[in-house]
A and B are shown apart, each in its own frame.
Chain A
């Protein structure tokens, strides 16, 4: 999940079904934990047992105004997860050319596409940001070609309405 420094969620993805209220609660909980931590400390949090289950660990990274948070169990390596956040952010960086919070806010579905290329069903599938980029670009191209026809007449109203 991605949360900004004010506790607003920007992107969240749960690999087991959670009802919406539960999701919000979890995000709030994570934020409460994170916001209390100073900057120069380690990026792992272990004691989340009460709310996420005993083996769950959390790794987060703080970029400018955003927290990137991954939760994982003991079949993942902590440092590898930290790298994975790096990969994710790198990819975002490449996609949006130096990513900032606004990019994350306005490119909601693209964020999902990127994340989906990296992780499927809780399994890390791709750790090379170049590969991820390639896939994402293909998908974007695919989107624009298939919607080109409809976009022609849609582009005007959307510009009009705003």
Chain B
């Protein structure tokens, strides 16, 4: 046995050899590694410690650099850790800390004894090793078993060891909350240590703890304040500031005290890191202190003018935080921000972009967008899309709140689509359709933009634009009455390159072509008279339509610049039309019909159901007209015999069906319908979730197809588009009317306060899909109008509560969860703070054996002495009361510690006064808590928070 072992060790490769070998085998490392692994496996079993250690070291190296699994060697590491040699011990602990998984490595417990021994070692480096290892591999059991040793180390006279022990405490608290009870007091005592490194370590621990649950550490604020004022150690100050950022929202009075020292540091320090931390603290937590913000903004300016991109980036970041409350700060640095848009650094560019958008308002949106689009054209694809995305987001915020000129915005959208790198097709698509439905006045411009996009064959080659084209096609079809030249659109919709489109978009194209065609035919029938001398009748007819639809009907004309809104020009146009509309002849109709037939003919056999169905619909119509085509236009004038009228009637019906308005409907409107009694919905919520998830996924796609698909999805049985439309228009409107009467409450109100809202068509088509934006927006509006809403579907009993409930549900639950998750540590901390308190007061009052009641008594006296006549003051809310309870502990402690700054002391006196107001409640509760501190585990202190 000794033989091979000796041989092994004689010819064993060292770690260095391994590394050299790896460097030789570049490109073919894996074979070398597997060879070495075989060696290691053999060597590690050796009884010779040196051999074992080297093998383990090599393995650790391979593990951490090449990701080789070494969980199988866990036991060897443990074996080696008991070595007398520091070197081997180090190798073993390093291997353990890099490769042990506290959750799955089951041999960890075997280390307990060894760790304990090493923690007690007189050699501080050995202790250090053990502490390191403990951090990585500690399990709740290990933490429990070794807490006493770490506790002893907290008082170690070797600074380094004490520091490490403090750092490790965090992990112990996490894994074994009861350790808080043991160690917390000593930890707090270390705050007053003269060695800044130790204080720094303690503050570091508190910083981490405060991140999780700041409330519990509020009582320590005075200690931190002292550090803030007196310390000159930048690391320490940064950490203290971090803690105060967490505490500030809980205790509004902190601001008053803190602003001054922070500003002092800001003016004094030369360290950029501390300066930045001060700035960040001020702008994020104390932004209501005008003067401090001024100082901070001055500092930010300095940052912005630095050469170092890091500082500029951080400066901009700080500015972003200020922006929400002090826009002037951004305005002051406007030039710099705009300049930064062309910075080489992506980080800086992105921050600058955020800032630019923060400056956007109704007045400057046009200019800013122009600037941004220019930048977008110049920059790389990624940033270009970032810009476009931000523009889209900002402009559409709160239902296009900042947009006044929609014609401009719509053309901007068109412009965006033509930017070569644009990948925001989906968003632009949504907005085009959305604006079409929401903003009546923008429709003519929409149709113009849509037409420009559709007739450009080049755009069809860019797949990112397809979604936009789909919206353009839908808009052109839906609002074809604003179109100047319907045949042109039909041609564009049916151009050969449309074969590049995805089938779903192609379906939209065909459907739109159908709508345009119908409109065109309908129009040709009704205006046919124009060609005849007796044009009076037609004018009447047109006026009739104008009134009937309360919508101006745009005649076919080539004139470019008339304003669409102006109704008074109607007469002029009709005469204009009579000259120019000549193209509407049988010939032109025949041309279009031919075009439709030749392009759609092949598609009637398409494998795509949507395409097949739609093209068949169109072809059906074409066929129908063709039958009666000879003399199609002329005959009617001579005698309106029945046969002809049938076609006309048909076209008229279809046209009317299409001309019905589509309005936005909140995607959540379905949810707001009360659930019938006896309907069990909350039986298996998981299923429901899954279903809802599916549904959510479908919405966007069905939406993209506009009305046609979504309605078809709803009733598949009706394959015939025409009859469906008719049925829908009669049946569903009547149903809707009825529904509306009953649940009018849940419908969007048609009168809105702003101009944009005025344009809302009533929600009249419940089947219209809607996007997520709408849902949110509508919800907001609903809240504004304080309409009532039903609870979500998962509650069986409808509760007539204001929308707030819907919103408040989520956050509340999560908040509670967080609380529960952290309550072990923080609860224990609170206990200890209380216990701490109790014991200190005990020591002061010497002979009491009931610390909590004694303390209470103590406070009562104090309260009486300092109490002004404020008995009638109303009860504060529960949160404050809790804070007061905790502050009050601090209060009594504050009294004991004479050296505390008087300012804070005074503050706490005020606290004490308030505390007394809620005394009746507080007394009972806090005694309960104090008792808990002595006996029970962590759960009791947390509960009162919710019960109060």
Contact = CB atoms under 8 A, between A and B. Distances in A.
B625 interface: no
Nearest to A151: B50
Contact of A77 (B136, B277, B347): B277
B65 A9 contact: yes
B211 A75 contact: yes
A62 interface: no
Nearest to A139: B125
B479 interface: no
Given A42-B313, A44-B313, A80-B234, A161 B90 contact: no
Interface in A106-157: 106, 108-109, 112-113, 116, 120-121, 123-127, 135, 138-139, 142-143, 146-147, 150, 154, 157
Interface in B555-581: none
Given A77-B276, A120-B132, A158-B14, A42 B167 contact: no
Interface string B1-40: 0000000011111111101100100000000000000000
B14 A77 contact: no
B142 to A, nearest CB: 14
A161 B277 contact: no
B15 A79 contact: no
B667 interface: no
Contact of B235 (A20, A21, A38, A127): A127
B348 interface: yes
B67 A150 contact: no
Given A20-B67, A143-B87, A147-B85, A123 B204 contact: yes
B346 to A, nearest CB: 7
A123 B272 contact: no
B103 A108 contact: no
B475 to A, nearest CB: 35
A108 B60 CA distance: 10
A12 B442 CA distance: 58
Contacts of A41: 309, 344-348
Interface string B88-100: 1011001000111
A105 interface: yes
Contacts of A123: 167, 170, 201, 204-205, 208
Contact of A21 (B67, B242, B313): B67
B906 interface: no
A24 B666 CA distance: 46
A45 interface: yes
A41 B68 CA distance: 35
A116 B273 contact: no
Contact of A42 (B12, B13, B86, B345): B345
Contacts of B242: 75, 77
B93 to A, nearest CB: 10
A43 interface: yes
A75 B91 CA distance: 31
A15 B137 CA distance: 10
> For chain A, which range describes its interface: under 10, 10 to 19, 20 to 34, or 35 or more residues?
35 or more
A40 B309 contact: yes
Contacts of A112: 94
Given A42-B309, A146-B86, A19 B101 contact: yes
Interface in A5-52: 8-13, 15, 17, 19-21, 23-24, 37-38, 40-46
Contacts of B103: 17
A129 to B, nearest CB: 14
A93 interface: no
Residue with the highest number of chain B CB atoms closer than 10 Å, among A12, A44, A108: A108
B101 A120 contact: no
A161 B273 contact: no
B344 A124 contact: no
Contacts of B809: none
Contacts of B85: 146-147, 150
Interface string B265-292: 0000000110011000000000000000
A41 B342 CA distance: 13
A19 B19 CA distance: 23
A63 to B, nearest CB: 16
A92 interface: no
A143 B86 contact: yes
B65 A147 contact: no
Contacts of A42: 308-310, 312-313, 345, 347-348
B197 interface: yes
B791 to A, nearest CB: 30
Contacts of A37: 346
Contacts of B16: 106, 162
A90 interface: no
A88 B94 CA distance: 19
B234 A121 contact: no
Contacts of A38: 344
A147 B88 CA distance: 8
Given A106-B16, A146-B85, A157-B9, A82 B125 contact: no
Nearest to A105: B19
Contacts of A161: 10-14, 17
Contacts of B205: 123
Given A125-B164, A125-B167, A80 B17 contact: no
Contacts of A139: 86, 90, 125
Nearest to A46: B347
7 closest A-B pairs by CB: A79-B273, A121-B135, A41-B345, A24-B67, A42-B309, A42-B313, A123-B167
13 contacts: A17-B136, A23-B67, A41-B344, A42-B347, A45-B347, A73-B211, A77-B276, A82-B273, A82-B310, A108-B65, A150-B49, A157-B10, A158-B17
Given A41-B348, A108-B15, A161-B12, 15 more contacts: A15-B135, A42-B348, A75-B239, A78-B276, A80-B277, A109-B91, A120-B131, A121-B135, A123-B167, A125-B197, A139-B86, A139-B90, A143-B87, A162-B16, A162-B20
